[in-house]
Structure 1
Amino acid sequence: MLLSLMRKHAKSWIIKVLITMIIMVFIFFFGYSYISDEGVKVAEVDGEIISYVEYQNAYRDLLKNLQEQYKNMWSDNLIETFDLKNRALEGLIENKIIAKEAEKIGLDITDKEIREKIMTYPAFQYNDVFDENRYKVVLSNNDTNPEDFEEATTQQLLQEKLIQFLQTFLVVSDQEVLDQYTYYNQKVKIGFILFPSKDYMDSIKIDQALMTKYFEEHKEEYRVPEKVKIAYIAFNPQDFRDQVKLDDQEIEYYYEDNQDQFTREREVRARHIMFSLPSDAPAEQEEKVKEKALSVLEKARGGQDFSELAKEYSEDISTKDQGGDLGYFSKGRMIEPFEEAAFNMEKGQISDLVKTTYGYHIIKVEDIKEESIDGLEEVRDQISDILISNASIDLANEKALSLMDQMPYDVDLAQFTSQHDIAVINTDYFSQDEPIPYIKGDAKLRQSIFSLQKTDVSELIEFNNIFYIIQVVDKKPSYLPEMGEVSDQLEIDYAAYQAALEAKSAAERYLARLREGTDWDELAKTMNMKPETTDFFTRMDSPEVIGVTPDLNDAAFKLSENNRYPDAVLENEDGALVIRWEGEERIDKEKYKQEKGQYADALMLLKRLSLYDTWLKRLKDQTDIDRSKFEKYK
C-alpha cells in the first residue's frame, strides 16, 4: 500500500519529504554505511581509499574461484584456511599501487585495447568470432557484469604493460644463456663406495642418557599431527537404482537428442612398413633410407605379400611381427601425415612413401568402415543404463538435501540418524595425511573436513559420485608426546642414528686416506669394498644406482680431473657415501645452437618475474598503507 502510494505520487513534495525523513531515520539508527557501502573505507593507499564495495567485489571473486575448484567439497571454514579476506585486500592494495605507478610512467589502457582483449577470449566467441550476447550470458552466469569484468581486464592489461616496460631494462647476454644451458645439460660420471648403516647395527649399544638427549634434540619428529574423528551418512546412487522407472518414450527421446553419442566415426584398418629415420639425420643418411624404402615399395606394388614384407623390413617393433597390422583407427589417432594419407586411400591401395617424424612409411589400407549411427535397439540397454544412473544420482542428491533440511542447527548426527532409521558410519581418528577411513578421499576433501570445527556439519559433499553429510565428532590437537609414548620407535630410530654415525665415521676415515694419495682401486681391494660407477647424469638427474642423496649433485659437479674427491662424505637413507670424479660430458654445441632461443626466452621470463616481484615489493614498502579500518570487516 505504502509503496504503491509512493510510486503514484513520486513527484509530490510530500513524498519527497517523507523519503528524506525515512533516510534520516536510517542514518540516525544504522549509520551512513547502511545507505552507501561505497563510502565506507576499508583501507587507504597513499590517501586513496579502498571502499567496502571494492573489497566485497574482490573478496567475492576470490571466493567464487575457490568454490569452483572445490565444488561439492567446499566448506566455509576454508575461507580462513586460505586467508581469503586478507588476500582480497592485498590484491586491491597492489592494484592501487600498480595504477598509481603506471600513471607516473605515463602508461594507460584505452577502450580499444580493452575491447580487443575481451574479443580474444574463446569463451565469448561463437564459430571463432566474438559474440556480444554470448559475452553477456557468460558473465551473467558467473554473477559478473560487463563493467566489473572490463575493470578486471584493465588491471590485467596494465600489469602486462608494466611488465613489458620493466622488461625494456632487461638484457640476457649470450654468456648468460650459455651458462644456463651448460648448468642444465653438462653431465658428470662418478664412482662411489657405500658404507651401509645396517652393517653397524649389531655393534650399537643403547645408552639411555644419550637416547634421552637424542629424543630432546629430535622431539619435533615425533609430533603427533592433528586428528579428527567423523561420523557420516553416505547416499550412494547405486542404492536408488531400483526406484527408477523408465518408459520407452524417455529412451527414444534420449536417443534422438544425443545422436552424436551413437555415431561411429569412419575407421580405416591399415598395415604399414616403417623405415626409421632420426629427425636430425644428415641428407646422406636420409637418401640411403629412402632408397631402401623405394625398393620395398616396388616389391609391394609388384604383388609380393605386404604382411611378409612388413615382417622382413619394417622397423616398427610393435607391429612388425603382426605384419605391420595397425588394426582399425579413426581420425586423430595417428600422426598427421600418416593419417592424411591413410584416410585418402581406397581399400586395397598401397601408398607412396609417407614421411613422418619417425621416418618413411609404406601404407596399405586393408579395410574401411564408413561413418554410421547405431540403431536404437543396438543401444537401448546402454541408454537405459545412462538414464537410470542419472536418475539415481538425482534421487540420492534429493534424499540427502531433504535430510539436511530436516536437521536442527546443533544436530548430533548419530542421534538424528537413529531417529530416522538411517545408517551412520563412525570412523576412528585420522590425520590430514592419512586416507579417510572407508571413504579414502583426496587432499581437497581432507582439507575441507579438517577446516570444520568439532560438531560442525559439512555441506552436502559429492565424492566419486557418492553424496556425504559429514560431522566432526571430535578433534585431537597436534601435540608432542612424552618419551615413554614412543619408546619402541625411539629405540629403533636411535639405533639407526648411531649406526649412521658409525658408517659416516668409517667413510670419513676412508676418504681421508684417498685424499692423502692412496689409490682408489688398491684401497678398495685392501678394505674389501666394492666400488660402483654411475652413468653420466645432469644436475637435474638423480642416479638410480645411488638413489636420492642430499647435496650429491652439488658435490659431484664441483669435482674435476684435478680434484677428484670431495671435502666431505655424503649421506642418504642407506648409509654414507664416498664419491670420486670419473669423467664429464660437455654440452653438444650443435644442440645448443638449436635450443639456444628456448633457453634465452626461459631466462628472460625468470628475470622478468623476479624483477616484477622485487619492484612491487619495493613499492609496497615505500607506500603509506593504512589497514587499520580493515579489522572490523574481517
Structure 2
Amino acid sequence: MLQFMRQKASSIIIKGVLSLVILAFIFLGIGNFREQQEVTAATVNEEIVTGREFQYTYQRLLDTYRQQFGGALNDDLLKMLNLKEQAMNQLISEKIILQQADKLGLNVSDSELAATISSIPAFQNNGRFDKTRYNRLLQSNRMTAAAFEQSQKQGLLVDKLRTLITDSVLVSDNEARQWFDWENARVKITAAVFAAEGRTDVDPAEAAVAAYYEEHKDQYKTPEKRKITYVRVAPARYLSEVKVTEEEIADFYQANQDFYWNEETVEARHILISLEQDADEARVEEARQKAADIYVMVTDGGKDFAETARQYSEGPSAGEGGYLGAFTREDMVAPFSEKAFSMAPGEISEPVRSQFGWHIIKVEKVNAAFTTPLDEVRADIEKQLLDQKAGEYAYEEALTLFDMALDTDSVEQAAASRNLTAVTTDAITQNDTLADVEAGRTMVRQAFDFVEKEISDVITEGNTHFLFQVTEVMPAAVPPLENVQARVIEDLREQMRKEAAQAEAESVLEKVKAGQPLEAACAGTQAEIVATGFFGRTGAVPDIGNEPALSRAAFDLTKNQPVAPNVVEGRTGYYVVVLNDQKAPEASEFEEKRDAVVKRLTAQKKNEVFMSWLKTMRQESDITIDEAFLR
C-alpha cells in the first residue's frame, strides 16, 4: 500500500533524461591517483564541469556499454562510440538544462523528493521504504543523504523542465493516420535470387592468387601484440596491518548520528474507499457516506477492523486486513500522516480525505523516535573503518610501488621488493581483455599507447590499484604468401563467386527491363525464383529471410515502376525484384490502434522538440572545453 500511495502521490518519475542523475553508488577512480584534484574539464556559462564529474560520467558510459556488448566491446567499437565526447556532451547538456530550470524558477518540493526516494527499490524492505536501510546503504557507500537527495532533485527538475517545454506538443489524427499507413503498408514481390554461395565454377589461377594477395596485403597483416607485467594492490591484503580503536569507533558514531537516527513511526491499518481526484460533488459525497457507514461498523458496531478491511477496503492492502506496517510521516501523503500521527494506539479515525479517496485509520502502535545504540552498530562501524584504513594503506603502497618502479625501471623488481606478485601476460592485441582482472580493459587500452618499457600511473578500479609496464612490443607484420595461401585462395574464390552472381543478375535485369518475363529471363542461370507473400517494412522477407536492402527496394516500387531499377545487393547474394501487389492497412485497423499510435508519435515529437530546444540553448551558451579530456 505504501508503494501504491507513493506512486500515485507524484506524476513525476525518474526517466534518466540525458542520464542526468549521477549514479550515487559508483565511486570509481580513473587514471593517476596523484591527479584527483578538481581540475576543470569544461565551463558552461561560467559554471565548471570538473575533471571528477567527467571521469564518473565516462566510467558510467563505459560500464553501460560493457553490459550491452560484453566481450564484443573492442577498441574499434570504443573508438566508433567516442565515449569521451559522449561523456562531455552529456555533462554540458546537464549543466545547460539545470541552468535553464533555475532561470525559470522551477523547484522540487520536499514531498515530491520524498515520494521519489521512497519508491526506489534499493531503499525498501518488503516493498516499503525503510529509513534505516536508506541511511545504512548511503553510509556504506560513503555518501551523505544531502548529496544523494540533491542528485535526485536534479533529475526531477529535468523532468519538470521537459514537461514544461513539450507539454503543448500534439499529434493530429491526420498525422497519426499517415504514419500508420506508411508503417503498416504491405507488399508482395517476385525475386530472382542469385546466391554467391555454392558456385563451383570458380578456380583462380596461381597468378590471380598472387595478384589478389598483393592488392589485399593489409587484410592478412597480423596485429601488433604486446606483453605487459602488472601488479595488483588490494586493500584486503593489508587488513591485518591496520587496527581500529574504541575511540575511533565512538568518534565515527558521534559524527554520523544522522545515519543512526530512526524517526517516529506509526503502525496502522486502514480501509480505503477509492475516489478520483477530479470526482464531482455527488461522487465525493457518495464515497464519504460509504466510508462513514463503515466507520460506524468498526466503532459502534464493534466489527473487527481487519476483517472489515478485507471485506470493504479498495486499496492494495485489503488482503492483509488493511495493514500498512510501520511508516514515517514522510512515507504517507499529508492528510493521512497528519491524522495517523495525532492518534493513540487503538484509536479509530473518522473518514479522512486524501487524493486517493476516503480513509478510515486504526493506529495499532506508535514507535518513538530513537537513535540506534552504538552496541548494535559497533561491528559495522569497525568493519567500515578497517576497510577504509586498509584502502588508505593500499593506496600508499601503490604510490610507493610506483616510485620504486620508476627508480628501478622495472615493475617486476619493485613488486618483488614489496613482497607483491608481478604477473606477465601472454602476447595480447588491442582487442583482447585480461579475464578476471578488474583493470584489464584499461591496462590493455593504455598499453597500446605506451612505448616499450614505459610504466603506467597507478590505475584504480573500485578499491583496488594496479601498476603495469609494457615489457615487449611485437610490431604488426604481413606474413609471406605461403603462410596464408589457403586463406587468400578462399577469399579470392568468394570474390569471384560474388562477381559471377552479380554479373548474372545484371544480365537478367536488362532482359526484364526490355520486357521479358522474369522467369524466362532467368533461363540457363543459377537463379532461384521466389514469389513471396505479403510482408512489411521490418522483419524478414517471406521464404528469403532478413534482407533489409531487399525490403527497402520492394517498398520503393510502384505500379508504374514495378521493376527495381538496379540489382539489389543482399547479405548472401543479389536480387532482381519485381512488384506483384501492394496493400494498405484498413481504416478499422487504424481505429483499433489509434490511441497507441498517437501516444507513440507524441512521445517521439516531444523528444524531437526537447532536443531541438536543447540544441538552441547550447548554441546560445558560452562553452569552453579542455580538449585534453577528449584525447
Q: TM-score of the superposition, structure 2-length normalised?
A: 0.51
Q: Distance in 2 between matches of 1:422 and 1:133?
A: 41
Mapped contact 1:196–1:574 kept (Cα < 8 A): yes
User: Structure 2: which amino acid aligns with 1:500?
Assistant: K
Identify which of 611, 616, 621 aligns with 1:613.
Answer: 611
Q: Distance in 2 between matches of 1:518 and 1:481?
A: 50
Report what 2:167 is aligned to.
168
Structure-2 change in CA distance of 1:449 and 1:105 (3 Å): same
Q: Distance in 2 between matches of 1:87 and 1:575?
A: 37
Identify which of 431, 444, 447 aligns with 1:450.
Answer: 444
Report what 2:593 is aligned to.
595
Mapped contact 1:41–1:49 kept (Cα < 8 A): no
C-alpha offsets along residues 397-453 of structure 1, whole Å, 9 cap, x if unaligned?
A: xxxx9xx99988646669979x99999785344451x687xx6x79x9863452242
SS state of the match for residue 578, structure 1?
strand
Report what 1:22 is aligned to.
none
Within the alignment, does 1:189 sit opposite 2:188 as a pair? yes
Report what 1:145 is aligned to.
144
Task: Trace 1:218-257 onto structure 2 (pairs within 5 A).
Answer: 224-229=222-227
Structure-2 change in CA distance of 1:602 and 1:222 (3 Å): farther
Structure-2 change in CA distance of 1:42 and 1:431 (3 Å): closer
Report what 1:109 is aligned to.
108
Q: Distance in 2 between matches of 1:64 and 1:575?
A: 42
Gaps of 5+ in 2: 1-36, 233-393
Mapped contact 2:567–2:575 kept (Cα < 8 A): yes
C-alpha offsets along residues 563-582 of structure 1, whole Å, 9 cap, x if unaligned?
A: 33101111235432212223
Within the alignment, does 1:155 sit opposite 2:134 as a pair? no
User: Structure 1: which amino acid aligns with 2:53?
Assistant: A
Mapped contact 1:193–1:577 kept (Cα < 8 A): yes
C-alpha offsets along residues 504-537 of structure 1, whole Å, 9 cap, x if unaligned?
A: 2221121121122112333345657541233433
Task: Trace 1:313-324 onto structure 2 (pairs within 5 A).
Answer: none
Report what 1:364 is aligned to.
none
Task: Trace 1:215-614 onto structure 2 (pairs within 5 A).
Answer: 224-229=222-227, 410=405, 427-430=426-429, 432=431, 447-453=441-447, 473-476=471-474, 489-525=487-523, 529-543=527-541, 545-549=543-547, 551-587=549-585, 589-614=587-612
Q: Distance in 1 between matches of 2:85 and 2:412?
A: 34
Q: Distance in 1 between matches of 2:478 and 2:614?
A: 40
Mapped contact 1:224–1:481 kept (Cα < 8 A): yes
Mapped contact 2:433–2:441 kept (Cα < 8 A): no
**1:470 Cα deviation after fit:** 8.9
Report what 1:623 is aligned to.
621
Q: Distance in 1 between matches of 2:225 and 2:542?
A: 36
Mapped contact 2:230–2:423 kept (Cα < 8 A): yes
Report what 1:55 is aligned to.
50
Mapped contact 1:62–1:84 kept (Cα < 8 A): no
Q: Distance in 2 between matches of 1:615 and 1:228?
A: 48
Mapped contact 2:171–2:602 kept (Cα < 8 A): yes
**1:611 Cα deviation after fit:** 2.7
Mapped contact 1:555–1:566 kept (Cα < 8 A): yes
User: Structure 2: which amino acid aligns with 1:451?
Assistant: R
User: Structure 2: which amino acid aligns with 1:58?
Assistant: E
Structure-2 change in CA distance of 1:407 and 1:415 (3 Å): closer
**1:160 Cα deviation after fit:** 0.9
SS state of the match for residue 538, structure 1?
coil
User: Structure 1: which amino acid aligns with 2:98?
Assistant: A
Gaps of 5+ in 1: 1-36, 235-400, 463-467
C-alpha offsets along residues 148-206 of structure 1, whole Å, 9 cap, x if unaligned?
A: 22322232122112211221242222233334334443333322222233576645665
C-alpha offsets along residues 21-75 of structure 1, whole Å, 9 cap, x if unaligned?
A: xxxxxxxxxxxxxxxx89x8765433x342xxx726634654775798789x9xx
Structure-2 change in CA distance of 1:162 and 1:555 (3 Å): same
Tell me the C-alpha RMSD between the 2 structures. 5.4
**1:482 Cα deviation after fit:** 9.2
Report what 2:384 is aligned to.
none
C-alpha offsets along residues 226-281 of structure 1, whole Å, 9 cap, x if unaligned?
A: 544467999xxxxxxxxxxxxxxxxxxxxxxxxxxxxxxxxxxxxxxxxxxxxxxx
Q: Distance in 2 between matches of 1:589 and 1:49?
A: 54
C-alpha offsets along residues 95-141 of structure 1, whole Å, 9 cap, x if unaligned?
A: 33223323444533344433333333233334544444433322222
Report what 2:96 is aligned to.
97
Structure-2 change in CA distance of 1:210 and 1:65 (3 Å): closer
Structure-2 change in CA distance of 1:97 and 1:540 (3 Å): same
Q: Distance in 2 between matches of 1:534 and 1:448?
A: 50
**1:553 Cα deviation after fit:** 1.0
Q: Which has the larger radius of gyration?
A: 1
Mapped contact 2:98–2:157 kept (Cα < 8 A): yes
Report what 2:390 is aligned to.
none
Q: Distance in 1 between matches of 2:604 and 2:183?
A: 15
Structure-2 change in CA distance of 1:209 and 1:451 (3 Å): same
Task: Say how many residue pairs are matched.
Answer: 412
Q: Distance in 2 between matches of 1:59 and 1:423?
A: 31
